[in-house]
Amino acid sequence: MASYLQIADDEKGHELDLFCVPRHYENDLDKVIIPHGLIMDRTERLARDIMRDMGGHHIVALCVLKGGYKFFADLLDYIKALNQNSDKSVPLTVDFIRVKSYCNDKSTNNVKVIGGDELSSLSGKNVLIVEDIVETGRTMQTLLSLLSECNPKMVKVVSLLVKRTPRSSGYRPDYIGFEVPDAFLVGYALDYNEYFRDLSHICILNDQAKEKYKV
Ligand code: IMP
Ligand code: MG
| Predicted pLDDT at 99 | 82
Residue 137 near ligand 1, beta carbon < 6 Å: yes
Gap between the Cα atoms of 75 and 61, Å rounded: 10
Question: How far is the centre of ligand 1, averaged over its atoms, from the C-alpha of 101 (Å)?
Answer: 8
Query: Taking a C-beta distance cutoff of 8 angstroms, is the pair 4, 162 a contact?
Result: yes
Residue 159, SS3 per DSSP: strand
pLDDT in tens, 6-60: 999 999 999 999 999 999 999 999 999 999 999 999 999 999 999 999 988 899 9
Within 8 A by CB and 6+ apart from 118, the residues are none
CB of 101 shorter than 6 A to ligand 1: yes
Beta-strand runs (E) in 69-105: 92-103
Say what the pLDDT of residue 149 is: 86
Residue ID of nearest Cα to ligand 1 atom 15: 135
* pLDDT tens profile 83-121: 999 888 889 999 999 887 666 677 666 777 777 667 778
CA–centroid distance, 57 to ligand 1, in Å, is 30
Residue 64 CA, ligand 2 centroid: distance in Å: 6
- Please tell me the predicted confidence (pLDDT) of residue 35: 98
Quick one: pLDDT at residue 107?
Answer: 65
